[in-house]
Amino acid sequence: MPLDLDLLRARLPRRQIVWRDRVGSTMTEASGLAARGCASGTLVAAEEQTAGQGRHGRPWHSERGAGLYVSQVLRFALRPDDLPAVTLALGLAAAEAIARISGLACDLRWPNDVLIGEKKCAGILVTQSAEALITGIGINVNQTAFPVELADLATSLRLAAGRTHSREELLVALVESSERHLQLLAENGRQPLLEMFHGASSYARGKRVVVEQGGASLRGVTDGLDASGFLVVRLEDGGRSTVRSGGVRPA
């Protein structure tokens, strides 16, 4: 069923909502709107993405009508050091929205993977463009299957809960939860969010992981986030490494 835009506009009356049937990526659309001076909080959502973007240049599988594919243009005074924490805030927000709508408990894998068990159900992408932040969130909602290369890595709320979910209700919950978490960051700084992330993520501390960074990989046990929101890993040789970017997976 196509997304009910009237319902969405009624539930989010103060938001500018741009709805596209089919786009390359909502990130590109949102960057274009930001460059043309759109209001902060503008949402761009699509029924289908033909070139959905994931982190590190990876594609984001965006099956028509099955998931939530949404970008948001945000203009607020952000301390430059807060950028990594924005990703963490949105991961927490996505997990909270999913729990509210589906009852499913999610795990968070630093920095931006939202997991059910060990499988990913949502991902976050944050970029800067035209003096605005462009945040992108993809949630696997009603998919019943994934392409073979993703089958062991991805899940949907429907597969995990055994029932379909309203994408409209989930999007409203996501917008409200994102607003609350970003407001917490803007008003109270990073510390409360970092504590929340530590509480919500089994990956933050004591998890044996492999971190892929470019061509290299490092192995160790996670030891919390530093004050900026970067992941600290205790290495096998006794040293410690602060991971600023890269893909984390269980060892």
Footprint on this chain of ligand BTN (rule: CB under 6 A): 25-27, 49, 52-55, 58, 60, 69-71, 112-113, 123-125, 136-138
Looking at residue 109, the DSSP 8-state letter turns out to be: E
Instruction: CB nearer to ligand BTN: give 171 or 223.
Output: 171
Q: How far is the CB of 249 from ligand BTN (least distance, A)?
A: 13
**Residue number with CB closer to ligand BTN (32 or 54):** 54
Q: How far is the CB of 52 from ligand BTN (least distance, A)?
A: 4
Q: How far is the CB of 45 from ligand BTN (least distance, A)?
A: 8
Query: Which is closer to ligand BTN, CB of 108 or CB of 223?
Result: 108
SS3 letters for 47-73? EEECCCECHHHCECCCCCCCEEEEEEE
Site of tokens 């192995």: 219
Please say which residue, 137 or 231, places its beta carbon nearer to ligand BTN.
137
Least distance in angstroms from the C-beta of 25 to ligand BTN: 3
Helix (H, G, I), strand (E, B) or coil at 158: helix
Question: Mapping DSSP to helix (H, G, I), strand (E, B) and coil, where does residue 127 land?
Answer: strand
Q: Which of 73, 68, 45, 55 is nearest to 135 (CA)?
A: 73
Least distance from C-beta 87 to ligand BTN, angstroms? 9
Taking the complex as a whole, the smallest distance from the CB of residue 236 to ligand BTN amounts, in Å, to: 27
**C-alpha to C-alpha distance for 229 and 79, rounded to whole angstroms:** 13
Among 228, 229, 223, smallest CA distance to 241 is for 223
Pairwise CA distance, residues 223 & 73, whole Å: 33
Question: What are the C-alpha distances in Å from 143 to residues 5, 18, 135?
Answer: 20, 23, 23
Closer of 120 and 207 to ligand BTN (Cβ): 120
Instruction: State the pairing for strand pair 216-225/231-235.
Output: antiparallel
Residue nearest to ligand BTN (CB): 123
Nearer to ligand BTN, 55 or 234 (CB): 55
